[in-house]
C-alpha cells in the first residue's frame, strides 16, 4: 500500500470536522473535507484520496450508502475507509466492515492522535 498523503474527511459535525482537519493537517496530510455523504462522494470521485475518514449518520446520504457505492466502483473500491461514528452497536460495526471499512472508531472515545497512528499503520 502506498503511504497515505491525501485524505478526505466526510463528517457533518462542524466542531469535530474542524478538530479532525487541524489534527490531520498538523500530522502532515493533505486534507479535503465534506459535510454530508453526497458531497463526500463527489469529492472522493474528484480527488481519489489515499484514505477516507467517514461518519455514518449524515444528511443527504449516510456513510453506509457511501461505502456501498465505493465498493461497487472499481476505481474507488481499493481506497481504505476508516469509519468514525457514534453508532457503535455490534451490528453497525459489522455492517461497516462488511462494506469494506478497514477500521471503526467510536467518536466519543477516540483520541485523535490514535487515529493518526492507525492511518500511519495503513501506509
pLDDT one-digit tens code per residue, 63-97: 999 999 999 999 999 999 999 999 889 999 999 99
With CA atoms as reference, report the closest residue to 13 among 65, 61, 85. Answer: 85
Q: Where are the chain's structural domains?
A: 41-49+63-79+100-106
Q: How do residues 15-65 score in pLDDT, each as one tens digit?
A: 999 999 999 999 999 999 999 999 999 999 999 999 999 999 999 999 999
Q: How many residues does the structure list for the chain? A: 123
User: What's the whole-number average pLDDT of the chain?
Assistant: 94
DSSP per-residue string spanning 4-64:
P-EEEEE-S-HHHHHHHHHHHHHTT-EEEEESSHHHHHHHHHHH--SEEEE-SS-SSS-HH
Is the predicted pLDDT of residue 2 greater than 90, yes or no? no
Per-residue model confidence (pLDDT) at position 52: 98
DSSP 8-class letter at 27: T
Residue with cell 466502483: 73
The grid coordinates listed for 82 are: 476508516
What pLDDT does 1 receive? 52
pLDDT of residue 103: 93
pTM: 0.95
Amino acid at each position: 500500500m502506498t503511504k497515505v498523503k491525501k485524505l478526505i474527511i466526510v463528517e457533518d459535525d462542524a466542531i469535530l470536522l474542524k478538530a479532525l482537519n487541524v489534527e490531520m493537517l498538523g500530522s502532515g496530510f493533505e486534507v479535503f473535507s465534506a459535510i454530508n455523504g453526497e458531497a463526500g462522494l463527489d469529492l472522493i470521485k474528484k480527488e481519489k484520496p489515499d484514505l477516507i475518514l467517514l461518519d455514518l449518520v449524515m444528511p443527504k446520504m449516510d456513510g453506509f450508502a457511501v461505502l456501498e457505492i465505493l465498493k461497487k466502483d472499481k476505481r474507488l473500491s481499493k481506497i481504505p475507509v476508516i469509519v468514525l461514528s457514534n453508532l457503535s452497536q455490534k451490528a453497525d460495526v459489522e455492517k461497516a466492515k462488511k462494506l469494506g471499512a478497514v477500521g471503526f472508531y467510536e467518536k466519543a472515545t477516540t483520541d485523535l492522535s490514535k487515529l493518526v497512528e492507525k492511518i500511519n499503520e495503513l501506509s
